[in-house]
Amino acid sequence: MATIDGLPPLRDVIRDHELVAKKQLGQNFLLDLNLTAKIARQAGDLTACDVLEVGPGPGGLTRGLLAEGARRVLAVEKDARCLPALAEVADAYPGRLEVINGDALEVDAPAMLNAPIRVVANLPYNVGTELLVRWLTPKQWPPFWESLTLMFQKEVAERIVAKPGSKAYGRLALLAQWRADAKIVLTLPPEAFTPPPKIHSAVVHLTRLDQPRFPADAAILSRITAMGFNQRRKMLRSSLKGLAPDIEDRLRAAGIAPTARAEEIPLEGFCALAREIAK
Ligand code: SAM
């Protein structure tokens, strides 16, 4: 069967390279190249961008990114078994794909890329949230990336885009929405993957803002949200009492009722409180 790039279908690649999926590496592969090209398109125009991909596996999304015109893809893969399959993709796109065999939590990928940079990945579930938090909390803002287009378990995706008052609302929503626009752009059923996971998945697209949506000190905001949501059923005057002896006054000065709970407070309120605490 003809593919979008003339390379063999992914089912054959997986068979020929004996890439039996390993659960401990979060290996649920996408085999439909039309779908991987569609995911690549969610990242916007890639023709003038370097792309960082984490966990290319047998190369389905990598091939989608290259077929959609990415200027260059740097793909970081922990499983050395995938390297021969990825080398075939690199041969088909001379000079446009570089593969690093390593752990994405340890490799300094931004140092190997040229701006503008977009991150696109079907993330391994076991490191996905940690990578996202790192990308959202660099020492300097703006970060190295222009956008992140990332596949997560649907439940995690919902936490990223959640609004106040919902069960999914918490630290991840605040971190993501403080300095980026975040939206779910695709939802995928388990059958889209081989082997199928137990849960649905979703692609989230985050576009960085040049400035945070509301002014606040990042470290203070992070501390407040951690304390507030660690005890999300408690009133803020009690969950935040370790922050300042006069926490009730500070909450009122920020326009927040001391009896409110973290899950009711919008981003703007947390930022106002961070400014009060910084005074
Ligand atoms: N991108 C491929 C696709 O869409 O079919 C594979 C996605 S699969 C969900 C996750 C991939 O991440 C696997 O290939 C796995 O080996 C790789 N991986 C797991 N942990 C990793 C890590 N810490 N650093 C880099 N790659 C990792």
Q: What is the pLDDT of residues 241-272, one digit of tens each?
A: 999 999 999 999 999 999 999 999 999 999 99
- What domains are there in the chain, each with its CATH number? 2-208 (3.40.50.150), 218-278 (1.10.8.100)
Torsion, Cα 196 170 163 182, to 10 degrees, reads -60
Instruction: Give residue 59 CA to ligand 1 midpoint distance, Å.
Output: 10
DSSP-derived pairing of the beta strands 201-208 and 180-188: antiparallel
Query: Which of 20, 25, 203 to mutate to test ligand 1, by most ligand atoms within 8 A of the CB atom?
Result: 25
Entry field: residues in the chain: 279
Query: Which of 122, 125, 186 to mutate to test ligand 1, by most ligand atoms within 8 A of the CB atom?
Result: 122
Crossing angle between the packed helical segments 125-136 and 171-179, to the nearest 10 degrees: 50
pLDDT of residue 126: 85
Instruction: Give residue 207 CA to ligand 1 midpoint distance, Å.
Output: 23
DSSP-derived pairing of the beta strands 180-188 and 72-77: unpaired
pLDDT of residue 1: 64
The parts of the chain modelled with pLDDT lower than 70 are: 1
pTM of the model: 0.96
pLDDT of residue 253: 98
Instruction: Give residue 131 CA to ligand 1 midpoint distance, Å.
Output: 12
pLDDT of residue 232: 87
Instruction: Give residue 143 CA to ligand 1 midpoint distance, Å.
Output: 23
Residues with CB under 6 A from ligand 1: 25-30, 54-57, 60-61, 76-79, 82, 103-105, 122, 124, 127
Q: Which atom of ligand 1 is nearest to the CA of 126?
A: 20
pLDDT of residue 256: 98
The span from the first CA to the last CA of the chain, in angstroms, equals: 65
